[in-house]
Amino acid sequence: MPERTQLRRYTLRQHLLRLAVWIVANLFYRFRIWDRDNIPASGGALLVCNHVSWLDGLLILLLVRRPVRIIAWSGNFQMRWLRAWATRWGLIFIQPKRRKEMLAALGEARDSLARGELVCIFPEGGITRTGQLQGFKPGAIWLLKGTDAPVIPVYLDELWGSIFSFSGGRFFWKRPKKWRYPISIHFGRPLRHPRHLHQIRNAVQELGAIAVMRRADRFVPVTRSFLRACKRRLFGSKIADTLGADLSGGMLLMRTLILRRLLRRHTIQPDEGHVGVLLPPGAAAVVVNASLALDRRVPVNLNYTVTSEIMNSCIRLAGIRTVLTSRKFMEKFEFELDANVVYLESFKDRPTIADKVVAALFTYAVPSRLLDRWFGLHHIRPDDLQTIIFTSGSTGEPKGVMLSQLNIASNVEAIEQVVHLHKQDVLLGILPFFHSFGYTVTLWTALSLDVKGAYHFSPLDARQIGQLARNHRVTVVLSTPTFLRGFLRRCAPEDFSSVDVVITGAEKLPPSLADAFEEKFGVRPLEGYGTTELSPLVSVNVPPSRAWSDIVVSAKEGSVGRPIPGVAAKTVHLDTGEELDAGESGMLLIKGPNVMLGYYQRPDLTEQVLKDGWYTTGDIAMIDSDGFIHITGRQSRFSKIGGEMVPHIEIEEKLAAILGGDEETPQVAVTAVPDPRKGERLVVLHTAIDFSPDDLRSKLAEMGLPNLYIPSADSFVQVEEIPVLGSGKLDLKQVQQLAREKLGVAD
């Protein structure tokens, strides 16, 4: 009874102690508090909070105006004086491994809610080891039974990296990053009668996405980070490629600065905002992209696997007047571009002594902070456009995905945090920069962090890639399952002896491939997930070598991992849009700082996929109780083959044009079935026609379709009729099922 009286109001002694702790805390931290008024002024409420550091409970006590009863693990309060202090402040001690004590503690907490008191629980059950939100224990939902108390989601932001978090792989023993370390605490809107625990977790996770976007103006653009990263590796190797380049941070920055001056003087007009880049991964492409970024231009890396017609469509849409490329590279293609083509070889003899002196001075003598001012990088805003990456739309027409400075910077920050990159890491760069995976992860992650990038111009040259990995001691491989198969066939085990992280994306990773890769190279590939519209990374499994702790689950086979910090994911019913519980499959929606600005000059298409900050991925997924995402299907009519998005509708339209006939009666339908080698296999269902499969394939090639878009001869299947719905539209589910039956592919 005396304890109950203490909890309803602070005593004078507690007020004074709280004030003293507040003053001391403000000497070391700078607090930002958001929406504290969401906590009711009276009556019971359950505060549900993420768990990032040892400070979390103390912060709740300090920053909530009302007394709060915090549920805490009793093992942290073994010392008598500490336990006495905690008891005075109303902490409820819990021992999860002792069922009787645990039930007693939860019962006490529920009684407190019924009495109208505030209770706080950290339902992850432990401090996060990656910054990602972990799975929630069921105690949070159990506490609400029999009460009318609302749930107040709480998100503690910016604590990752403090000495009390697990960043760096340890608690406490690390140097603070800055004096008066910034901490923000966000209180969400009350949840009344939540249907399930997953709804509460989703609310906390969404609040985390909102928290990151609220501090967007404090994100450091990757161009500014690039300057600092080069100066940290002034004389150490920063990037290398298979053409013989091996540049220190100083040499990379010098070349970037010289090229920037040459482009401004000889090539790019002051009003040219968007500049095309047509280069494969390598030192030249890195320098070109970095030069344009430092000049605050928007580099648009063009897809060199498409036809001239498609590329020119992208050039016209983006308003590109200049395309930077290499004469040697262009000799391999027959592109006729509607733009001014500038070859890098033409700059070979153009740098003056002044160019070299100024670049050397800026590189070796001028501090990064002054360079920020000189290049105007301090004027960059979070929503400024950083790049446009083209991706095929549902009709096969290219769509320009606008990625902002915040999109790229937040993705890089999350990659560093979750994968725990360090200065000894070497990233293998084989993914083209016209893919968001290549642009964000293998280009700007390598440039803006204290790591090294090793590049090769084609992901299909497995032997050369293996030699590159061996020569430069590559540690992190980012690839697709298709390319891993090439490594298996053509690389020696010693080529990847230094590798301890292999992350795949773009297509499903078969367990048999993961087994074979692990057996040969000693490291098991894991999956991540993303899309161009999401900058691209959404989620990733953390490899055991980077998990730092086995206390929490960091990876699950068959999943694409947990969302990266600051990104929220949920599934909704395909018809009603209702938020689903854990384990239920539905449309996957994503919210966070990684969500694109929109499609360039296509607000109509943007509105179709962006609603209330949530991006509709088009993928069907299930999120389990631990927060891991499992992709279970794909709604949009694409296939991912060898990492490329192949639109079914474009192929159908070309075939329909060849066949002619009555448009009201479909003669052909394109679908896909699983393929153990490429991930998916295109299948064409057709009624009786006068063309052989070889004839159709030849005509598709003549019409300009890439080889990847042309189904194999044995993938043309004759059927009696094409399944359609009552509306006359294709019955896509039946089309795919029919293709599976005809080809003998199991469900």
What is the CATH classification number for the domain harbouring 124? 3.40.1130.10
Question: Is the residue at 457 inside a domain?
Answer: yes
Range name among 18-27, 109-118, 471-480, 499-508 with the lowest pLDDT average: 18-27
Residues 188 and 327 in one domain: no
**122 and 157 share one domain:** yes
Band the pLDDT of 726: cuts 50, 70, 90: very low
pLDDT band at 376; cut points 50, 70, 90: very high
Give the type of residue at 678: K
3-state secondary structure of 323: strand
* Tokens 């004839």, located at residue: 695
Rounded to whole angstroms, the Cα distance separating 443 from 113 reads 51
Last residue of a domain, one of 623, 647, 670: 623
Strand order across the 598-599 sheet:
385-392, 398-404, 598-599
- Closest to 267 in 3D by CA, of 254, 276, 278: 276
Residues 198 and 228 in one domain: no
Is residue 631 situated within a structural domain?
no
Q: Which residues contact 455 (CB under 8 A, 6 or more apart)?
A: 239, 240, 241, 242, 281, 282, 283, 285, 286, 429, 430, 442, 468
Question: Which of 594, 623, 652 marks a domain boundary?
Answer: 623
Give strand pairing partners of 157: 184
Question: Do 701 and 605 have their domain in common?
Answer: no
Q: How large is the average pLDDT for residues 452-467?
A: 95
Give the whole-angstrom CA distance, residue 646 versus residue 706: 10
Q: What pLDDT shows up at residue 463? A: 96
Residue 629, in any domain of the structure: no
Which tokens in the block code for residue 66? Answer: 């009302």
Three-class secondary structure of residue 495 per DSSP: helix
For residue 3, the model assigns a pLDDT of 36
Are residues 93 and 25 located together in one domain of the fold? yes
* Inside any domain, residue 628: no
Whether residue 122 is contained in a domain is answered as yes
Percent of the chain with pLDDT over 90: 60
How would residue 665 be classed by pLDDT, with cut points 50, 70 and 90?
low
- Are residue 286 and residue 361 in the same domain, yes or no? yes
Q: Give ∠ CA 10-16-21 in degrees, rounded to 5.
A: 105
Shared domain for 452 and 551, answered yes or no, is: yes
CATH number at residue 583: 3.40.50.12780
For residues 270 and 399, state if they share a domain. Answer: yes
Are 68 and 120 in contact by the 8 Å Cβ rule? The answer is: yes
Residue 650 sits in a domain whose CATH number is 3.30.300.30
Task: Please give the pLDDT value at position 75.
Answer: 66
Helices (H) and strands (E) in the chain, counts: 25, 33
Q: How many domains does the chain have?
A: 3
Same-domain pairing of 23 and 172: yes
Confidence of residue 438 (pLDDT cuts 50, 70, 90): very high
pTM of the model: 0.84
Please check whether residue 170 lies inside any domain of the structure.
yes
Residues 210 and 226 in one domain: no
Q: Are 311 and 333 within one domain? A: yes
Q: Are residues 69 and 138 in the same domain?
A: yes
Long-range Cβ contacts of 74-77 (<8 Å, 24+ apart): 74/101
Q: Judge whether 670 lies within some domain.
A: yes
Q: Which residue has the higher pLDDT, 14 or 497?
A: 497
Rounded to 5°, angle at Cα 505 from 591 and 484: 170
Residue 368 one-letter amino acid: S
Q: What is the mean pLDDT of residues 231-235?
A: 96
Q: Of residues 724 and 240, which shows the higher confidence score?
A: 240
Domain's final residue, options 155, 182, 214: 214
Task: Give the DSSP letter of residue 592.
Answer: S
pLDDT (tens digit, 9 = 90+) per residue, 542-595?
Answer: 998 888 776 778 899 999 999 999 999 999 998 889 999 999 988 999 999 999
User: How many whole angstroms separate alpha carbon 249 and alpha carbon 538?
Assistant: 30
Average pLDDT for the chain: 88
Give me the residue label for tokens 């890769």: 517
Cα distances (Å, whole numbers) of residue 731 to 649, 722, 724, 727, 728: 14, 8, 5, 10, 9
Higher pLDDT, 240 or 647: 240
Token digits of residue 84? 């006495």
What is the token pair recorded at 104?
């007693």
Q: Residue 39's domain spans which residues?
A: 2-214
Is residue 34 situated within a structural domain? Answer: yes
Instruction: Check pLDDT > 70 for residue 387.
Output: yes
SS3 514: helix
